[in-house]
Each structure stands twice: as structure tokens, then as C-alpha cells.
Amino acid sequence: MTLTFNPDKYKDLLSQYQPKIIRNEADNEKALAVVEELMHRRDRTPEEDELYELLIALIERFEQEYYAPGSTATPHSILLFLMEQRDLQPGDLVKIIGSETVVDEVIKGQRSIGKELALILGSFFHVEPSLFSN
């Protein structure tokens, strides 16, 4: 027996979960939790399949823009991303860089990241120092 798609049931699902464009990590985590729940649900309905696919598309779009360094990624944006991922504050970088002023200027994008600082940051974050070079 083939199950048919029921627009009213889908509307109820959309109302319940309220999917939207994912713009930050918190929204992404919420969407991932729903996808995980749906992924493990046996005998998903056609409406749940549609919601599942919609959420995956939204998550993929967010992750491609947010996680994949592309032509828009800059040394500054990569540093901010790595800090966010590790839940670090500027004060945490003072310990490795040694100067609150330098950290403040780098965080605000007022100072470029030189070769020596790129090596320090690369070692600290366990990434290639070249990520911090233009």
C-alpha cells in the first residue's frame, strides 16, 4: 500500500516544528535534534519524510556557508569561528598571545595576523597556520 501525502498533516508538522532558515549554531543544533529524532523513527509518514528532507536541506545550506571556509573566509573570520567553536573569550587568547591590546585589535579586525602570530594561533588551535594568512 502506498501512503499518500496529506497536506493538512504536513501543515500540522510545520506548525509544530516551525522550520526556518538557520542563521546560527543554536538554530542548527535544534534542527539537528529534530532530524535525529526523525531519522530514528520507524515507519515515518510521507509528511515526516518531507519535513526530514527540508530540515536536512536547511542544515546543509547553513553548514556549507558557516563551516566551509570559502572565498569569503578571512583570517579574522576563521579566528572568530575557532574561538566560537571552543567557547573562548578574548581573555583566553591573552594567555597565548601575551598582550591584551594585540588580542583586542586582532578580534576587532584592526590588526592583521602576521606570520609569527599565525604560527602561535595555528599551534594553539591545532590548525594550519596558513589559515590565518591572507
| Domain CATH code at residue 111 | 1.10.260.40
Q: How many residues does the chain have?
A: 134
Residue 2 placed within a domain:
no
The total number of structural domains in the chain stands at 2
Per residue of the chain (134 residues), give pLDDT as tens.
Answer: 667 999 999 999 999 999 999 988 889 999 999 999 999 999 999 999 999 999 999 998 888 777 665 556 788 888 988 898 888 999 999 999 988 999 999 988 899 999 999 999 999 988 888 888 76
**Structural domain containing residue 41:** 7-66
If asked whether residues 61 and 12 sit together in one domain, one would say yes
